[in-house]
Structure 1
Amino acid sequence: MSFPKPCSSLKKATLKRTLSLRQQLFRRLFRSGVSLFCLLGLGITLLLPMVASAQTPTNSSQSTVIKTFPLPSSNIEEENAGASASNDATIQEASSTTAGSTLNEDGEGLTPTYEYRLPFNRDASVGNRIRLEGVYSDASMYFSRPRNWDLTDVKVQIKLRHSPSLIPEKSNLVVRINDTSIGSVPLDRSAAEVAQFLFDIPANLIQDENFLNMEVEHNTSETCTNPNDPALWTEILPDSEFLFKFKTKNFMADFNQYPYPFFDDLSLDDTKLAYLRPKTYSEKWLTTAARYQASIGRLAEYRPLTARLVNSADDLDWNERLVVIGTPAEQSILTSLDLPFSLSANKLLDGDGNPLKEEVGILAQTADPDTGNPILVATGNSEEGVQLAIQFLVQSQEQTIGAGQALLVESLAETTSPDEHNWPGYLPQEKEFVLSALQDEHGNLFEDTTVRGTNAPPVRIDFRALPDSQFSRGSNLKLHYSHTSQINPRTSSIEVILDDVTIGSKPLSTKNHSNQTYQIDLPPHLMKPDSELRVQFTMNPQDSTVCGMAAQKQLWGTLHNDTSFQLSRYIVAQLPDLELFRVGYPFTAPQDLSKTAIALPDNPSQAEIETLLAFSGRLGKLSKAESIKLNVYKNSSIPGADRSKFHWVGIGLREQFPFSEAFNANGFRLFAQFRRQWNDSQIQSIQDNEGVIKAVLSPWSNEHILLALSAQTEAGLREVQDALDLEPLFLALNGDTTLIGRKVPNPSPYDRKDYNMRFLDESAKRQIVDAGVIQRSSLFLENHWWTLPIGIIIMALPLYSISQLYLNRLSDPE
């Protein structure tokens, strides 16, 4: 009998155990897989509704959808890309170049590179040249970087000529950008030769606000140059320019950035607004549009600002911003814009699908899907709600709390009108004040100011008197200053200049050089609404043999901000006077424009409404307050009882002008069929395209005026708009009547010579006085001094007669 081998039995037993373990493992894996699959299915089932909910847009008034839109791009043809700026004031717009293109951040389309040329003469202070004199001298050019620019390349091209007497090895020009040197060149050109230098500016040095500093060192001697040598000069030519290459950046539709992108204080171009025409022009729409334009004017200040009407978003130009004001019934474009709220039956709905309250206003930002032009929407279910929405943007304090792409404005705090003589940026109302109460050129309160060198720049002080202030004798200035002791007292002095007229000077002393005072009388006739006070330190080194920068740095003078002023003045104004209108008076008194009203024809034309926008923007530039309360009326609804409470502005063509009284008064008059009259002369022209700006005393009040902005044709109204929009023209207004027309078909906005302006002064005037009896008497004697000796003689005659009678009676023996 045979027995099985032990190894064979062991293998079988091991195999059985292995199979059993594998089966258990497979069973466990199968159970785990089934459980995992069930959990995964359950999770997907739970997550799908949440994902769908997150992807579904909501119209709830509590939520805000933030979107980014590309800013508009220039459409200028490439053939204009390389054109250089001309020597005059003609300015080239941003132009597209052939530099490479890249995908934008969203990977959609191409982002082109643009070129922009900024000539130095864009700054009005440059004029025909920047002249640098003395051994050491410098000048600065300010420029900004628009918020939507992504700079790729920056250069500055400087053209200059200099004195042929300079020693090239010891004379040079150093150029700095934001205190960082970007290059230097020798001044080695021959007489009358124009030098041209191109400097690269690293893009990382460019900030929002920038200063290009040009410093020169002049030497005509190998040993020591006389700083008063007239041969020490260099002139920077006005056609020098900055060259920018950039790509545009997207903007975020969010009111925490307002007023950007509708106004950019860093922009190098004009601010251009386009108002979408509503179906009808109601007084509410006219008032809200005028107030909004005035608010943008306040932001723009000295920067160019234009506005026009358009029929649709397709009419927008490059870099133009669209403003949509009105209810859904008035503005049908609201149904086609990408906005974070719903519309039904021309009603705005809340998150529950119910119409919003009539008194609620809505503000929203979006952009044109084709061009990328920013669009501002101010709407509501009633005109009151629309006006409330615009008023939120107008009131400067409320703007700061805005956030998100859309806002619901439910209520606004009422603001009080400021005092009529509370004008920010002008002289305080107090009789005595110090320099620290005034603002410097940057809008900050004055601090101690130090200047250095033999050619130290003057300390400039805006000394703008209120337009209805008339000064008398007794006004004075008490300077408080300090200076270095390392000066030559025989040739060093401090000089005070008011509007280019020297009103006082005093030599500087080496003994007493700290905390000095100097009192000067202020001439009453020199203090005006646009006056500037300059304090000039003229400093020469004590040792004339010492040369170099060290000698310049040791020369310093400081004007302290406790310098005091004492003014004697009355509140007096002669009206009407368009020269006072240059600073806004009397329409900007008070500064919230609450005493100014505008009247339009019942069916205003596009030219008349654009004139309204131009005038409103100008009033905004000339005023500063927390709110704007300007009102606009149509001719048929002008309140009769309130006519005496306002300064009125009439806008319209002569045939439908709202106030016939403006042209029935004395002076220049317009009639039908292109007829015009002045004094006893009357003519009739074949075509009259001139604009008329005329001021007369108000027929309804002795303390108000009526301003007429009129013309015979719409072309004439465009001339009025130019006079209001363009600084060179507006600052030329004079007399009580200004006639304006163009000399060339396409006049330059920077050259007044392209326009023909004539000034007339024939209307009756009235003196508006706000003073007590004693002040009125003193003012009368100042203006009519000749009545004083006549009055003395008249009073002396009866006294003489009485004394003679008395003497005769005493001499009579009886």
Structure 2
Amino acid sequence: MKRPMFYLAAPSLLFLLLLLGMAGPAAAQHSLSIPLTEFSIVGKPLLQGKAADFRVSVPIPRRWDVASASLRFPYVNSTGLLGKRSRLIVRFNDQVLAQIELLPESPEGVVTVPIPTTLLKPRFNELQFAVAQDYDDQCTDPGNPILWTHVSVERAILEVDYALKPLPMALSSIADFLFDPKQFNENSVHLVVPEYSPEMLNLAAIAASGVALRFEFRPVTFTLSQDLRQGVDNILLGDTAFAADVLQQYERRAPEGDFGIMPLPGPAPAMPKDEDASGQTDRERFVDDPTRAVILLSGANMQAVRLSSEAFSLLSFPLPDVSSTDPASVVIPNITQEMGKSLVVPGHKYTFAQLGMASRTFTDMYPIPENLTIRLPSDTLLPGNLFAKLAVHLAYGAKMREDSVVNIHLNGRFIAGVPLGNPAGGRYGGYQIHIPMYYFRPGQNTFTFEPVLSPLVTDHCTFIQLKNLFVTVFDDSMLSFPKLDYWTEMPDLALFVEDGFPLTKWPDWRETAIILPPDDPHSAAAAVNIVAMISQKTGIPPYQLRFLNEPPQEALDILVVAPYPAISPDILRATPMAPRTSYPWQGALQGTRDQSLYWWNRILADIFPERPRSVSLPSVHGEALEQLVMDTDKLLLTQSLSPYAAMRTLMVATARSPEALLRGAYALQDPFLQGQAQGNVVLADLKDLEFGVRSQQSGDRYFVGDLGTFSWFTYLVNTYPVWFFGTILVILALTALVARRLLRARMRAKEQQ
């Protein structure tokens, strides 16, 4: 009797499965459901007029092998549309995926659109929503307000199923494959360190910042321990002996060089219980995960480990194509206070190309606006009598109506319009716009260029020509700033979440110390996450940051990262929350003068009631002597004047436990928390960051910065002209009176002689 084919094939299948298990873990499938609001949206989801569109930039990283993708979105259209002549079109990389008839009798709908994987390129892909809308069979006014369709991007979901591709085991893959900002999943990296000493944490912060810089704007979280972690990329930091010990546990050897990359080793998949494991060798206990990497930053001593860490932080080009190397030397440019990502320096001029904006041609009646983002130093003093100058180089087409214009906004506020009034077309070599400096704000500022282009002929039932509506803003347009002083009021946690100020007054953190409890991996990981987040904003790793377990002896800004039971009483007494908790007094406007000031301060306060000064400004607040108690889902941030050095800042990040503190450090990257952080106290509910963030300003204020004598004089003249010139007149009158009396006394003396 012949055996069934199944029984004959079973041993072969079992052997094949065993070989696959020995070769390594199968590539895991991942599924993501991401709202479209997580991506960059250009244009308005409310599509108005006869024809309109908006676009969404969808990133696909090289590291992903996408199996399937689909888009699900709801929409609402006007009930005044003519269904047979109104369509919503969905395109992906210029390929039409779907068209939806916009019917007035059913104005709401939900659409699911599959996206062919062949269209998903390893770059930023363009998803476009466009409408063609009519309300009449005859003539349609293209600007009629009845023509509209709204795509609800808040409820639109992009679903992606993917697996990770095997990594190229070359250092060149670090720059553009491993840590890619196009990865919009939750990115996490594990740091393996031999100890939690201050010196080792400094190297961990440099390595973590190098990762964060490669992710550019994408959040990334970090964990710390003394062993490898499965399922994520690892960075192994330490001398060669420590690296060898860690890898020996997985029966692996380190790469030959101090700076290298290798696949992540881990335990082999367990065999089924009903299988005979007696034939399994010792070598089969561990297998490599080719989709995850271990980056080795090692050396014979700590100086060599620092060299490898700094080399890793600088690597931004896909070279070298080797698995390991020995960095001979690392040259870091001379870092100044005027360096940083998108940072403009007062007293300099920049072209749009230098600021990251290429020449842009706008077409159609309501083209998608263009943004230009810059960053001013957070401690910039913005006076009302100085102006930035914007010189716009543009050209526009002929046969446009004279009310065509390019509107320019700064931080959402209209500041100027460039008229395009010549029907024959024209060009501006440098249309100058003077912008008062107080229109700007410290930190990030965004210019928006929004053309409104009108056809020359728009009569009813007349062909409306739209193909001649052109305006180009060229990238050699200039933006220049006057010289400014650096002087700002503190405390202000909004400046910290903007770019780390005042801790990053020097972007390499050279005048900052972080105080941690000793041998606390969670607090150490929280500090590393905070530093990496800020370095991603400034664009410079913390090469000169100091980690300490005690307050510094020299004059430094201080960040304390610790659970509040581990914070010293001296530090707690300097905060506005413990042991006496301060509350703003609602019965008086903040800044009301305190009559308990010394008499000479009261006189100066009457002359210059809002003058900046280097002593604390009083504010009206109440205090309650109470124990600081928080639950395990709260993060507390405070800022105050440091008790250890004049004109220095003490900042505290704390929670009830080390684990809660680490969760709070992760939450600091959330836009909801950053957008609501202000004042000198922030309390965040980690379970509800959208509505659970509370900020307040209580306690004393102070100023940081440097105003020279002449700058002080200019500041007082321009800010308080009435008081200044009034004081000058009083001084002149008193001088004249004294001179008159002296002259009369001298004349009397001569008469008596």
SS at match of 2:375: coil
**2:612 — aligned with what?**
none
**More deviation in 387-396 or 607-616?**
387-396
Given candidates 456, 473, 478, the residue that maps to 1:542 is 456
Cα 1:562/1:341, change in 2 over 3 Å: closer
1:736 lines up with 2:649 in the alignment: no
Q: Which residue of 2 aligns with 1:117?
A: 33
- Name the SS of the counterpart of 2:97 in structure 1: strand
The equivalent of 1:300 in structure 2 is 215
Q: Greater CA deviation, 519-528 or 145-154?
A: 145-154
5 Å-filtered alignment, 1:658-673, equals: 661-665=570-574, 668-671=576-579
1:681 equivalenced with 2:624 (yes/no): yes
Given that 1:364 and 1:407 are in contact with CA atoms closer than 8 Å, whether structure 2 keeps it comes out as: no
Counterpart pick for 1:692 among 632, 636, 644? 636
Give CA-to-partner distance per residue, 1:734-760, whole Å, 9 cap, x none: 112222334x4xx4xxx522x332323
Once the two structures are superposed, residues 362-390 of structure 1 have per-residue CA deviations (whole angstroms, 9 ceiling, x without a partner) of 43422134482432233334333323222
- Find the aligned partners of 1:247 and 1:686 in 2 and give their Cα distance: 45
Counterpart contact for 2:181–2:217, Cα < 8 Å: no
**Cα gap change, 1:106/1:265 in structure 2, threshold over 3 Å: closer, same or farther?**
farther
Q: What displacement does 1:521 show?
A: 2.8
**Residues 585 and 151 (structure 1), Cα distance of their counterparts in 2 relative to 1, 3 Å cut:** same
For normalisation by structure 2, the TM-score amounts to 0.79
Q: Is the 8 A contact 1:421 1:589 kept in 2?
A: no
Note if contact 2:682-2:693 (Cα within 8 Å) is conserved in structure 1: no
Deviation string 1:707-737 (CA, Å, 9 cap, x unpaired) is 2223443355246414423232133221122
The one of 690, 694, 707 equivalent to 1:757 is 694
In 1, Cα distance between the equivalents of 2:58 and 2:432? 38
Deviation at 1:291, TM superposition (A): 1.2
Task: Say which is worse superposed, 232-241 or 114-123, in terms of deviation.
Answer: 114-123
C-alpha deviation, 1:211, in angstroms? 0.7
Q: Tell me whether 1:775 sits opposite 2:719 in the alignment.
A: no
Q: What does 1:576-591 correspond to in 2, within 5 Å?
A: 576-581=491-496, 582-591=498-507
8 Å CA contact 1:428, 1:437 repeated in 2:
no
Unaligned runs of 5+ in 1: 1-100, 343-349, 351-359, 441-446
Corresponding residue for residue 276 of structure 1? 192
Aligned to 1:419: 336
Q: How does 1:587-598 map to 2 (within 5 A)?
A: 587-598=503-514
Aligned counterparts, 1:329-344, within 5 A: 330=242, 332-337=245-250, 339-341=252-254
Letter in structure 2 aligned against 1:578: L
Q: Secondary structure at the match of 1:780?
A: helix
| Contact 1:298/1:623 (8 A) holds in 2 | no
Q: 1:714 to 1:670 in 2, by over 3 A?
A: farther
Answer yes or no: is the 8 Å Cα contact 1:290–1:630 preserved in 2: no
Alpha-carbon deviation of 1:449?
1.7
* Inter-CA distance 716–647: structure 2 relative to 1 (3 Å threshold): same
- Is 463-472 or 369-378 further displaced after alignment? 369-378
Q: Deviations over 1:18-39 (max 9, x none)?
A: xxxxxxxxxxxxxxxxxxxxxx
**2:139 alignment partner AA:** C
1:120-269 to structure 2, matched below 5 A, reads: 120-123=36-39, 130-190=45-105, 192-201=107-116, 203-204=118-119, 206-238=121-153, 239-259=155-175, 262-269=178-185
- Larger Rg computed on CA atoms: 1
**2:536 aligns to what?**
621
Distance in 1 (alpha carbons) for counterparts of 2:663 and 2:165:
36
CA distance in 1, matches of 2:446, 2:264: 44
**In the alignment, residue 454 of structure 1 is paired with which amino acid?**
M
Alpha-carbon distance, 1:807 to partner: 11
CA distance in 2, matches of 1:591, 1:236: 42
Paired residues of 1:719 and 1:741 also in contact (CA < 8 A):
no
Deviation per CA, 1:763-797: give whole Å up to 9, x if none: 33024125x43333111223333431431331242
Deviation at 1:676, TM superposition (A): 4.8
CA gap 1:228/1:104 in 2 versus in 1, 3 angstroms = farther
Q: Secondary structure at the match of 1:137?
A: strand
Q: What is the distance in 1 between the residues matched to 2:144 and 2:529? A: 50
Tell me how far apart the structure 1 counterparts of residues 421 and 168 of structure 2 sit (CA, whole Å): 60
CA distance in 2 between counterparts of 1:721 and 1:112 reads 29
Out of 468, 471, 476, the residue aligned to residue 382 of structure 2 is 471
Give, as a single letter, the amino acid of the residue that structure 2 aligns with 1:572: W
Gap regions ≥5 residues in structure 2:
1-16, 269-287, 584-621
Preserved CA contact (<8 Å) 1:361 1:388: no
Paired AA for residue 513 in structure 1: G
Say if 1:794 and 1:327 are closer, same or farther in 2 by CA, change over 3 A. Answer: same
Give the Cα separation in 1 of the matches to 2:716 and 2:419. 40
Kindly provide the CA deviation profile for residues 144-176 of structure 1, in whole angstroms up to 9, marking residues without a partner as x.
223232234333334322111111222112222
Q: CA deviation at 1:469?
A: 2.0
Q: How many residues align?
A: 663
Which stretch shows the higher mean deviation, 548-557 or 167-176? 548-557
What's the CA shift string for 1:457-515, capped at 9, x where partnerless? Answer: 223221432222223324133333222222221x4223221122212235431246322
Distance 1:449 1:792, change over 3 A: same
For 1:787 and 1:661, the matched residues in 2 are separated by 41
Is structure 2 residue 444 aligned with structure 1 residue 530?
yes
- Pick one of 299, 310, 326 that aligns with 1:380: 299
Cα separation, 2, equivalents of 1:688 and 1:484: 63
Alpha-carbon distance change, 380 to 108 in structure 1, aligned in 2, over 3 angstroms: closer
Per-residue Cα deviation, 1:563-602 (whole angstroms, up to 9, x for no partner): 333433332222332222122223333333333332222x
- The aligned runs of 1:558-637 (5 Å cut-off) are 558-568=472-482, 569-581=484-496, 582-601=498-517, 603-625=518-540, 628-635=542-549
Normalising by structure 1, we get a TM-score of 0.74
- Contact 1:120–1:126, Cα closer than 8 Å, also in 2: no
Whole-Å Cα distance in 2 between the matches of residues 809 and 775 of structure 1? 40
Q: Quote the Cα distance in structure 2 between the aligned partners of 1:663 and 1:686.
A: 13
CA distance in 2, matches of 1:105, 1:495: 63
Q: Is the partner of 2:695 in helix, strand or coil?
A: strand
Amino acid paired to 1:477: L
Alpha carbons 1:719, 1:740 under 8 Å: kept: no
Alignment of 1:404 with 2:312, yes or no, is: no
Instruction: Identify if the C-alpha distance between structure 1 residues 664 and 275 changes in structure 2 by more than 3 Å, giving closer, same or farther.
Output: same
The CA distance in 1 between the partners of 2:739 and 2:176, in whole Å, is: 83
Distance in 2 (CA, whole Å) between partners of 1:773 and 1:112 is: 66
CA–CA distance in 1 between the matches of 2:548 and 2:732? 61
CA 1:546–1:146 in structure 2 vs 1: closer, same or farther (change >3 Å)? Answer: farther
Q: Does the C-alpha gap of structure 1 residues 133 and 467 become closer, same or farther in structure 2, counting only changes over 3 Å? A: same
Rate the CA distance shift 1:165–1:142 in 2: closer, same or farther, 3 A: same
Q: 8 Å contact 1:420–1:591 — kept in the other structure?
A: yes
Letter in 2 for 1:180: Q
After TM superposition, give the deviation of residue 216 of structure 1 in Å: 1.0
Distance in 1, matches of 2:207 and 2:348, equals 36
Distance 2:335 2:179 in 1: 26
CA distance in 2 between partners of 1:547 and 1:809 (Å) = 95
Deviation at residue 257 of structure 1 after TM alignment = 0.9
In structure 2, give the amino acid aligned to 1:538. Answer: V
Give the 3 Å change call, closer, same or farther, for CA 620–551 of structure 1 in structure 2: same
1:521 is aligned, of 408, 413, 434, to 434
Aligned twin of 1:713: 657
1-structure distance, mates of 2:382, 2:262? 50
RMSD over aligned Cα, in angstroms?
A: 3.6
